[in-house]
Amino acid sequence: MKINDNYLRLKESYLFSIIARKVTEYKGANPGKEVVSLGIGDVTLPLAPVVVEAMQNAVLEMGKAETFRGYAPEQGYSFLRKTIAAYYAAKGVELSEGEVFVSDGAKSDLGNILDIFSTENTVLIPDPVYPVYVDTNIMAGRNIVYLDGSEANNFLPLPDWNIKADIIYLCSPNNPTGAVYSMEQLAEWVAYAREHNSVILFDSAYEAFIQDKALPTSIYQIDGARECAIEFCSLSKTAGFTGIRCGYTVVPMDLVRGGTPLNKLWLRRQTTKFNGVAYIVQRGAEAVFTPEGLRQTKASVEYYMENARMIAETLTDLGIWFTGGKNSPYIWLKCPGGLSSWEFFDMLLEKCGIVGTPGAGFGRNGEGFFRLTAFGSRENVIRAMERLESGQPW
Amino acid sequence: MKINDNYLRLKESYLFSIIARKVTEYKGANPGKEVVSLGIGDVTLPLAPVVVEAMQNAVLEMGKAETFRGYAPEQGYSFLRKTIAAYYAAKGVELSEGEVFVSDGAKSDLGNILDIFSTENTVLIPDPVYPVYVDTNIMAGRNIVYLDGSEANNFLPLPDWNIKADIIYLCSPNNPTGAVYSMEQLAEWVAYAREHNSVILFDSAYEAFIQDKALPTSIYQIDGARECAIEFCSLSKTAGFTGIRCGYTVVPMDLVRGGTPLNKLWLRRQTTKFNGVAYIVQRGAEAVFTPEGLRQTKASVEYYMENARMIAETLTDLGIWFTGGKNSPYIWLKCPGGLSSWEFFDMLLEKCGIVGTPGAGFGRNGEGFFRLTAFGSRENVIRAMERLESGQPW
């Protein structure tokens, strides 16, 4: 019996446990002072009323013999896949129902999709990055090449045509940097992927935060993407579904590698290792895409975006360099005074009682940077920005 | 770019599509006659009232700012893991909260657990079998050794000590045969696994159907199992959760391979590739294990078991050999008159208008056998048994 010893090569992440410990220590040492967190990566506003109503009705249906439903289709109910296809159609992207896969979230699919690819493939991952892209590939023993995000490229790295990668991760709007690729930049990635026969895994989990109509909210808005990209999205941030668990993955019929349509491989993976998403959850997700649902969830997104705007405005006043905040709930700032990520974390906590996330926790290129999020309450954001404006400790 | 070409070695299963086609053809040719299905592998009774109420309340909580919950712990909420541990304690099995992992179902975990094992391991799989055990290992390119179930061993094969296997699948009560291992038989498997340093993947999804108090409902009722077995269970059949999606997997702290606790590996897998089960679903699952929940769900199980008893009684009257039906919703019969699985299927449909599942669809050793299930309505079971008693076509 051998275990998968690739697991032994994984680095333990102590990022959030260290943050928690430091906050606890600070509170212990400063009983009077109240700490404001701008480090939250989770939504805080409740579910939209239309979603609550839809799920309430679905629960009742499951309690009656006439309307009870057993196993759901592994790929998702047709009513939801049609609705998602219509959501894409509204942004100019034509999808067939069979190209949409409903899942329990983008995180699951981003990890599980690797099952259909050879472990011999080389993976290209931007740095800084959502750590899951890296860890899921280390678990499979794949060779990973990193792509440098930096102040110089506004944390929107473009392809290096001299490097050949088989699987490419792109996340736009980006976590942690909040940076968003333009149509032209994504077009360059699509051209690179088609030239190298690579597959782009496009994480669009934050697409609902894009305000600028000129920016792409789906990679399929780029010609040729259907032949080289799989898109992962989720209702977690769009509709506050982090605790409801519903996402969707698009695998176009035109995406063929080694003579095999990847849609067929993913369908086989899902029908073999997955049993579909709860009917109740799928009815809740369907409600998100109704006109009223879109209105209600948009209101929550706008609430978060006003938080982001206030944070961005303050940083601009203070002359601090940052990305994000305009089309993303994340603000990625350059630590002032040449401080390291953790030095800035300590100073911000000590002097302003503000908690954020050290950029160094997201990869080598995150050192010297810092992530703030817009998911807190308005009151906390106002309080935090006042402390920053006045207290500027650096 | 290479795909995972192990997928190309998977056999397409046409079992249920062929059944559907034959039924459609029969209905077309016999417009008057009504078909009764005893082939259903899915529950048909609605959710218990306590579960509906718990989920209704949870939905309302998610709609209010004060009670809204975002990301759930990947391993499951403590309230549910404690409840499941208490359920095991009631059957004499002591588990710590950290040994219980809540998931979206046993099918997902049975497939995903393989992620923590080397692809070089040899897998031992009984035949006939739930096809997912086979396909998930073919996808990973593992060497599979089959274990013969037969009339001679009552489809309860015991270990061949000359064969060394690293990973062993056991399902008791069994799908498709309905056969249940005794304490002594499971003890032999535990002894074999400890001797060969193997890991048993024990699928107890049908444990709630066991009526005979002498039969084990968990492999941990066997001494030593904590050092060699992972148990997978689900609320799908216990509480009609096939469309709700909630299961649980037990990885004991004492289960160590290659110097590494498998609990730690599985926790890392789940925190990296999974984001937990919906709060609403976990509250519904918690309700199943309340005294009232256990009473209500037991009533559904008893309804199905009375169906099974009637089917078993009829087969006994007819002198047809079978397993299951007493501690399982499945009845596995030997096709009378030496008919093949499909010959019997056709005859049963033609002469009695009854639909079942050909045993040949569950593996080589299923040929000549046939699966009936107890998940239908009482009326249909009575009608089907009357037709069998009178019509006996063989």
ipTM for the predicted complex comes to 0.96
Task: Answer whether A117 sits within 8 Å of B4, measured CB to CB.
Answer: yes
Nearest CA in chain B to A257: B3
B203's enclosing H/E stretch is strand B199-203
Sort out which chain B residues have CB atoms less than 8 A from A102's CB and list them: none
Question: Which pLDDT score, from 0 to 100, does residue A394 have?
Answer: 62
What are the distances in angstroms from CA B186 to CA A114, B84, B200?
Answer: 36, 22, 11
Judge contact between A125 and A144, C-beta under 8 A.
yes
Quick one: residue A276, left, alpha or beta (phi over 0 = left, psi -120 to 50 = alpha)? left
Inter-chain touch B275–A49, beta carbons under 8 Å: no
Which pLDDT does position A13 carry in this prediction?
A: 81
Pick the CATH number of A49-290 from 3.40.50.300, 3.40.50.620, 3.40.640.10, 3.40.605.10: 3.40.640.10
Peptide bond preceding B176: is omega within 30 degrees of 0, i.e. cis?
A: yes
Contact B7, A268 (CB under 8 A): yes
Q: Round the CA-based radius of gyration of chain B to a whole number and report it.
A: 21
Nearest CA in chain A to B67: A46
Q: How high is the pLDDT of residue A387? A: 94
**List of chain A residues whose C-beta atoms are within 8 Å of the C-beta of residue B240:** 68, 70
Q: Where are the domains of chain B?
A: 5-46+293-391, 49-290
Beta partners for B247? Answer: B103, B234
Angle at A199 between CA A131 and CA A72, to 5 degrees: 75
Do A46 and B69 lie within an 8 Å CB cutoff?
A: no
Q: Is A58 in contact with B278 (CB distance < 8 Å)? A: no
Distance of CA A153 to the CA centre of its chain: 20
Cβ distance of A265 and B64 shorter than 8 Å:
no
**To the nearest whole angstrom, how far is the Cα of B108 from the nearest Cα of chain A?**
5
- Residue B177 to residue A251: CA distance in whole angstroms: 37
pLDDT of the residue at B12: 85
B8 chain-A contacts, CB cut-off 8 A: 260
Question: Which of B109, B245, B268 has the highest number of chain A CBs within 10 A, making it the mutation to test binding with A?
Answer: B245
Per-residue pLDDT at B40:
85
**Which residues in chain A have their CB less than 8 angstroms from residue B277's CB?**
104, 245
Nearest by CB: B118 against A4, A42, A116: A4
Of B2, B72, B135, the CB nearest to A272: B135
What is the rounded CA–CA span in Å between residue B27 and residue B17? 15
- What's the confidence (pLDDT) of residue A331? 98
DSSP at B209: G
Tell me whether strands A357-358 and A256-257 are parallel, antiparallel or unpaired.
Answer: unpaired
Question: A5-46+293-391, superfamily in CATH?
Answer: Aspartate Aminotransferase, domain 1 (3.90.1150.10)
In the prediction, which pLDDT does B393 show? 65
pLDDT at A393: 66
| Ranges of residues in chain B whose predicted pLDDT is under 70 | 392-394
**What are the residue ranges in chain A where pLDDT is below 70?**
392-394
CA–CA min distance A180, chain B (Å): 25
A43 chain-B contacts, CB cut-off 8 A: 70
Residues of B in contact with A104 (CB under 8 A): 104, 245, 274-275, 277
pTM of the model: 0.97
Of B5, B56, B70, the CB nearest to A243: B70
**CA within 13 Å, CB half, A139:** 25
Query: Three-state SS for A325?
Result: coil
Domains B5-46+293-391 and B49-290 share a fold: no
Contact A68 B240 (CB under 8 A): yes
